[in-house]
Amino acid sequence: MEVLHNLALGFEVALTWQNLMFCAIGCTVGTLVGLLPGLGPLATISILLPLTYSIPTGGALIMLAGIYYGAQYGDSVSAITMKIPHASSIVACIDGYQMTLKGKTGLALFTAGVSSFIGGSVAIVVLSGLAPTLGEVALLFGPADYCALMLVGFVCVSFVTTGSLLNGMAMCLIGVLLGQIGTDVNSGMQRFTMNLAFLADGVGLVSIALGCFGIAEITKNLDNRDERTPFNGKINLIPTWAEFKRIIPSALRGSVIGSFLGILPGGGPVIAQFAAYAVDKKVSKYKHEIGSGAIEGVAGQAAADEAAARTSFIPLMSIGIPENAVMALMMAAFIIKGIQPGPNMIAGHPDLFWGLVASMWVGNCFLLILNVPLVRYWLSVFKIPYSVLFPSILFFCCIGTYSVNNSLDDIFITATFGFIGYMFLRLGLDAAPLMLGFILGPMLEENFRRALLLSRGDFTAFVTRPISGTLLAFIGIFIVWQVAAFFLQARKTTARRQQPA
């Protein structure tokens, strides 16, 4: 009953005219920018973050959330119609694009829209039930446990986003080191500032995000020099009843898988999509069709995608630890607005928390309206040639960086990180874990120092506490497995090389 009461409070907040408007703007702009080639949710959020500075806190959070799932959805539209895989909707390309080739674009888009709606709704139920409970569990966490939890997050994100533990961990650590720049909170000493006054407060988050995701991304697209043909096919949106019936079971399966995987550290939309797709391929009634343009191939992954995008808010809002790079950016946005996500957020700002939850459902409805009947108009975005687009994106990067502090110095920092981001790109290092490391770095240091202070410099405290001990054991097993896998692989390739000789 308490949940219903809380949700009623949430809807009271979310359904004010102002917040409805912010939600609608967030969804629209997010979808629009998410559709643009090469801009996934991370870049979209960092470019649009400054838009929210002049908005009241509740509205800003609602709008940011709208931008996030709008971008997530816009991604899948471009994947289905043109097979432009962004970071976040690789799976949608498989069956979605096959359906487009068969002339069933409308059906694919409708399926994706409805499944996302179902996935989102299931996730919101999970979110409103689980987040407060998990928040109480989080109160049991001591500093050592927080450290271990963050390390687990690093390991999982490294492995999931880059596929290589070594590269991912390196990026996390670089992020942590970048987070050290600025004034040390405990001693007041300035670290790594090179005596530059504007570095005393640390490197701006927006500068790093725009440099590594915005500018590096633009340069990559320019280097590729690929011209895209805009989508001109016919779109017939209304499905038959038989087709509609096929969407539901697959979407429900996807929702459950997505909701679950969204909560785990390092989880999130990408891994949820793959899992849902794999499950559908195993258990669906139409499994023989999946891969060649089946409704189930689109429905399951779209539902999982949307569900995971929402349940990944749970660790952020109940424990205060973001579990992937997008959530790290969200956390930064919360902090800019003066809200510290964590166990106390739900109790301290019930209107914000429940308003956000309720607004997710409102956003779901907006997305359905925006995307299913209006999708034709969205696709005209692709008629803009890239040579017009990239100066504009660059302009928004500049305005975004500048308006954080009204400081032109920040643009130089962004340019620096643009170069570094490009280096990372060319060296095959994914910048997403860096973001997580950067946000969690200061928290990790503080908890690390506090844990050692409490244990009087004794490192066994990390192992003897049940929570941190378990988490560290998990990391240990994971690393051993990775090392073993590498050596087995190496032996196999050398064996194969020797065979022909």
Which residues here bind another protein, judged by CB under 8 A?
Answer: 50-51, 54, 166-167, 169-170, 173-174, 176-177, 180, 184, 186-187, 189, 191-192, 215, 218-219, 222-223, 225, 227, 386-388, 390-392, 394-395, 397-399, 402-403, 406, 408-409, 411-412, 414-415, 418-419, 422-423, 426-429, 445, 448-449, 452-453, 455-459, 486, 490
Cβ proximity to another protein, 205 vs 360, nearer residue: 205
Cβ proximity to another protein, 212 vs 290, nearer residue: 212
Q: Per-residue DSSP letters for 194-215? A: TT-GGGTT---HHHHHIIIIII
Q: How far is CA 490 from CA 152, 167, 287, 479, 496, in A?
A: 27, 18, 35, 17, 10
Cα–chain center distance at 409: 28
Contact indicator for 106, 300 with CB cutoff of 8 Å:
no
Q: Give the list of residues 6+ apart from residue 238 with CB closer than 8 angstroms, or none.
A: 106, 110
Contact indicator for 401, 194 with CB cutoff of 8 Å:
no
Q: How far is CA 181 from CA 175, 195, 197, in A?
A: 10, 11, 12
Q: Minimum distance from CB of 360 to another protein (Å)?
A: 25
Whose tokens are 């928390």? That residue is 353
Q: Minimum distance from CB of 330 to another protein (Å)?
A: 21
Rounded distance, CA 134 to CA 136, Å? 5
Nearest by Cα to 10 from 318, 359, 307, 343:
359
Q: Minimum distance from CB of 271 to another protein (Å)?
A: 23
Cβ proximity to another protein, 85 vs 442, nearer residue: 442
Rounded distance, CA 94 to CA 362, Å? 29
Name residue 433's beta-bridge partners: none
Q: Minimum distance from CB of 496 to another protein (Å)?
A: 12
Q: Minimum distance from CB of 292 to another protein (Å)?
A: 33
Q: Quick one: tokens of 467?
A: 């929570």
Cβ proximity to another protein, 345 vs 389, nearer residue: 389
DSSP letter assigned to residue 320 = S
Cβ proximity to another protein, 448 vs 478, nearer residue: 448
Q: Minimum distance from CB of 345 to another protein (Å)?
A: 27
Phi, psi of 458 (to 5 degrees): -100, 120
Q: How far is CA 33 from CA 46, 69, 362, in A?
A: 11, 12, 20
Q: Minimum distance from CB of 454 to another protein (Å)?
A: 9
Cβ proximity to another protein, 313 vs 424, nearer residue: 424
Cβ proximity to another protein, 149 vs 215, nearer residue: 215
Rounded distance, CA 304 to CA 62, Å? 21
Give the number of other CB atoms < 10 A from CB of residue 348.
12
Cβ proximity to another protein, 99 vs 165, nearer residue: 165
Cβ proximity to another protein, 136 vs 184, nearer residue: 184
Whose tokens are 């192992």? That residue is 463
DSSP letter assigned to residue 39 = -
Rounded distance, CA 91 to CA 280, Å? 12
Q: Minimum distance from CB of 99 to another protein (Å)?
A: 31
Contact indicator for 70, 201 with CB cutoff of 8 Å:
no
Backbone conformation region of residue 56, classed left if phi is above 0, alpha if psi is from -120 to 50, else beta: beta
Cα–chain center distance at 486: 28
Name residue 190's beta-bridge partners: 183
Q: Minimum distance from CB of 459 to another protein (Å)?
A: 7
Cβ proximity to another protein, 125 vs 452, nearer residue: 452
Give the number of other CB atoms < 10 A from CB of residue 377.
9
Q: Minimum distance from CB of 19 to another protein (Å)?
A: 18
Give the number of other CB atoms < 10 A from CB of residue 413.
21
Cβ proximity to another protein, 395 vs 481, nearer residue: 395
Cβ proximity to another protein, 60 vs 272, nearer residue: 60
Q: Minimum distance from CB of 215 to another protein (Å)?
A: 6
Q: Quick one: tokens of 283?
A: 């258990």
Q: Minimum distance from CB of 378 to another protein (Å)?
A: 20
